[in-house]
Amino acid sequence: MEQIQIETESKTYPLYLGENILSELPSVIKDVKPNTSQILVLTDEAVNERYGDKMIEALAAYSTVYKYVLPSGEQAKSFDHYYACQTFALEKQLDRNALIIAFGGGVIGDLAGFVAATYMRGISFIQVPTTLLAHDSAVGGKVAINHELGKNMIGAFFQPEAVFYDIDLLNTLPEKEWRSGFAEVIKHALIHDVEFYQWLKTTIKTLSDLREDALIYALKKGISVKAAIVKEDEMEAGVRAHLNFGHTLGHAIESECGYGKISHGEAVAIGMLFAMDVSNALGKTKFPVSEIASWFKQFGYQTSIPSHLEKERLLKKMQADKKSKQSDVYMVLLEEVGQPYVQKVENDLILTLLSQQLENSN
């Protein structure tokens, strides 16, 4: 089991990475939260069906362990489900020494983290991710729920006590989830690490290549990128915004399609290609977007905006992005691989490029 320190201005905590290590979770809890009185496991239906009993068995040393099971998918990140979790915690009389375990993918991590951040004004939680995508979302302390007018618009910065990443839990992931998570791996390479990007292009030809040693390497590299950026800018006042590369349009697509209709990573893949188009249009770069899109297609990504979406509605959602200021769209762009920057992009240019993409998708 490897250990990586995640350092932020408010807190430093460990990330554990290994295979078939769930039985070691109690020792981690004793290290990071020795006075734990009660444990609440928040998970979803799919993870509970496969691993719920295994998690409860791993926590057998604790006398008071509760489990609350949420629906699988993005719809769980709603105010109604957030409220239901709070109600359950209150009914079970969780106290300030209770510990919440976020046992699932990015959706559960975001929701459980926000529950922990706001229950009794904040109790401890540990991230136990079960998806590839969660290598990104489980690190850095951004927790939130969705609103119909925008993704992750209601939330907080709240760091976990630890992240516990057992890659054995990834074995039963469907291909769609591998695809969604791999988009964030690609994103980390594009914004921070040219050598990692080249390694991905030469080594990972299909999603099945992302296993065993290659998976561990990719996870460590992706996590190290996220950790370095979070260390410099915990509250997204500066460079942390670079982690939103591909997300301005990606979140708009997710919202317009209806949360869960297109996966986060698949929407971000389209958003990254669009951001490269914008970078090229501003004259700073000459990204071979069609070549990169062909690489994306090897993994089954859709590379153009779904044809039923409307450019004006997408622009409106982009204007509501957290980086936007007074309805001006600010996007994360690239000067080249490893050199991101944030810039205001005029609405006319966005609409023109959206029109081109939508025409190509018809």
* 53-65 per-position pLDDT tens digit: 999 999 999 999 9
Note the pLDDT of residue 362: 58
CB 104 within 8 A of CB 49: no
Q: Which amino acid is at 319?
A: Q
For the question of residue 226 being annotated catalytic, the response is yes
CB 169 within 8 A of CB 51: yes
Ramachandran category for residue 269: left, alpha or beta (phi over 0 → left; psi -120 to 50 → alpha): alpha
Note the pLDDT of residue 95: 97
Q: Which amino acid is at 232?
A: E
> CB-side exposure of 203: number of CA atoms within 13 Å?
14
For the question of residue 231 being annotated catalytic, the response is no
Which helix (H) or strand (E) covers residue 2, if one does?
strand 2-7
For the question of residue 50 being annotated catalytic, the response is no
Catalytic residue, from 48, 251, 266, 317: name it.
251
Count, in order, helices (H) and strands (E) of the chain: 14, 11
CA 174 – CA 352 distance, rounded (Å): 36
Catalytic residue, from 48, 146, 152, 244: name it.
244
Q: Which amino acid is at 107?
A: V
CB 280 within 8 A of CB 287: yes
Q: Phi first, then psi: what are they for 13, rounded to 5°?
A: -145, 160
Catalytic residue, from 35, 91, 121, 362: name it.
121
Catalytic residue, from 81, 240, 242, 317: name it.
240
Note the pLDDT of residue 237: 87
Note the pLDDT of residue 361: 74
Q: Which amino acid is at 230?
A: V
For the question of residue 242 being annotated catalytic, the response is no
For the question of residue 184 being annotated catalytic, the response is yes
Pick out the chain residues at pLDDT < 70.
362
pTM recorded for the entire structure: 0.91
For the question of residue 264 being annotated catalytic, the response is yes
Catalytic residue, from 179, 187, 226, 242: name it.
226
Note the pLDDT of residue 323: 73
Catalytic residue, from 192, 242, 264, 317: name it.
264
Catalytic residue, from 161, 177, 234, 236: name it.
236
Structure tokens of 76? 């769980």
For the question of residue 7 being annotated catalytic, the response is no
For the question of residue 96 being annotated catalytic, the response is no
Catalytic residue, from 135, 221, 247, 317: name it.
247
